[in-house]
Amino acid sequence: MTASPSLQTAIVTGSSRGIGRAVALELARQGFAVTVNGVRGVEDAAKVAEAIQQSGGRAIAVQADVADPAGAQRLFDRAEREFGGVDAVVNSAGVIGLKPVAELTADDFNRVIRVNVNGTFNMLHLAANRLRDGGSIVNFSTSALATALPGYAAYNASKAAVEAMTRVVSKELGRRGITVNAIAPGPVDTEMFFQDKNQELVDRLIKMTPLGRLGKVEDIAPLVAFLVGPEARWVSGQVLRANGGLG
């Protein structure tokens, strides 16, 4: 299918649930044709794409593991074939895996790095070569970098790498009018947030947040829409910390 040159298109990795799902729905509301992505199975991603279509938008669902270079390439290939090109890439696929270093195995650590760092890199590499001029990239970091709580060594290491890549790639792609930014959410009420956490830790994180609540996916998705929209063309190489004042 050949898309109109005026059609704005976006790939949102990890968008079958959580923040990624909210981002896909929000970008569709803003007029983007969205490539929805999931890794565990296409059913949840297909439901997101169907919801967009039922609301009058355009979307496809693609099962792909972006931590695998071939999977990331397949995601780009499908988006380009369906919509004619890609204007925005949102790297929201991620895992958390909280364990103290004494209990963290090499396999545990490598799994977090594989998804959060390699997956982001694979999409950045493709975007650097295939994103249309004037496009946008939004990566996902975390405000947990500032809190440095026990158990977060692997996760924080992976997200520190994402922030470093964000700043470098923004300079590499700036001459093509491509903006590259990251969002670093605080604790957000998603399935992934509650993994590996007991209620004591959840309550502690809520108390640490000056606004006194968990974030919602609806607090994050509009920020992505802003960063890929026309109002943010002078914003690049930045990390936006959306965390209720956590730090």
Catalytic residues: 155
Distance, C-alpha 150 to centroid of its chain:
24
Beta-sheet strand order (sheet of 136-140): 59-63, 33-38, 9-13, 88-91, 136-140, 179-185, 239-242
Q: Are 166 and 182 in contact (CB under 8 A)?
A: yes
Q: Which two tokens stand for residue 69?
A: 């270079």
Burial class of residue 107, CB neighbours in 10 A (0-12, 13-18, 19+): exposed
d(CA 166, CA 180): 6
d(CA 91, CA 86): 14
